[in-house]
């Protein structure tokens, strides 16, 4: 019995070493865990891909039609967008704020997979696409 327990414990350690499996959005919602950081980042596929495609297309068409293709072809992952800024200092600050917010969401770190600048009248918004580690 003791040997069986040790074997299971060892297998458990191996499993612990392997990256944690992400949780589906419905399971995260069911757990009521508002701090969950391991939700699956598959928001660009399936139903979510379609819904996001609608709104992003609408969003993009209000600024420029040429950016539609670029936006719909973005790689997988989540994204955060800054408010419009008008000077270099504000732009750097906005980028830092986005990285800080992402850092709070991805407690184990993250990688920025895409950086996009969108002109809005005489200002710029910055959008960072990222994946939690």
Partner 1 sequence: MKKALLPAAIAVFLPLSAMADVTVYGKANVSLQNADEGGDSKIELVSNASRIGIKGDEVISDGLKVIYQFEYQTEMDDGIGGNGQTFGQRNIFIGLQGKAGTIMGGHFDTPLKAAQEKVDLFNDLEGDLANIFNGETRASNIVQYVTPGSFGPFTATVAYITKENDDVDDGISASLGYNTSNVYLGVAMDQDVQAEGIDIVRAIGRVNLGPVQLGAMFESTDIDGVDDSDGFLVSALWSLSDAWALKAQYGDSDFKLAPAALDAESASVGIDYKLSKNAVIYGYYTAIENEGLAALDGEGNPIIANLRDDDYLGIGLDLKF
* Positions that interact with partner 1 (CB under 8 A): 5, 7-12, 14-16, 20, 24-27, 29-35, 37, 43, 46-48, 51-52, 55-56, 58-59, 78-81, 97, 100-101, 104, 107
Q: Do 125 and 82 touch, CB atoms closer than 8 A?
A: yes
Q: Output Rg (C-alpha) for the chain, integer angstroms.
A: 20
Question: Which of 58, 87 has the CB closer to partner 1?
Answer: 58
Distance CA 82, CA 93 (A): 10
Distance CA 96, CA 89 (A): 11
- The least CB distance from residue 81 to partner 1, in Å, is 7
- The least CB distance from residue 45 to partner 1, in Å, is 10
Question: Which of 11, 111 has the CB closer to partner 1?
Answer: 11
- The least CB distance from residue 43 to partner 1, in Å, is 6
Distance CA 9, CA 14 (A): 9
């Amino acid at each position: 019995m003791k040997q069986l327990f040790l074997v299971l414990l060892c297998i458990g350690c191996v499993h612990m070493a392997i990256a944690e499996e992400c949780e589906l959005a419905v399971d995260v919602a069911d757990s009521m865990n508002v701090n969950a950081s391991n939700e699956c980042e598959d928001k660009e596929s399936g139903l979510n891909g379609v819904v996001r495609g609608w709104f992003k297309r609408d969003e993009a068409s209000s600024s420029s039609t040429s950016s539609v293709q670029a936006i719909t072809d973005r790689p997988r992952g989540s994204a955060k967008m800054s408010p419009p800024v008008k000077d270099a200092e504000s732009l750097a600050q906005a980028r830092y704020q986005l990285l800080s917010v992402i850092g709070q969401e991805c407690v184990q770190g993250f990688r920025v997979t895409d950086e996009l600048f969108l002109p809005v009248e005489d200002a710029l918004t910055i959008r960072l696409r990222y994946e939690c580690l």
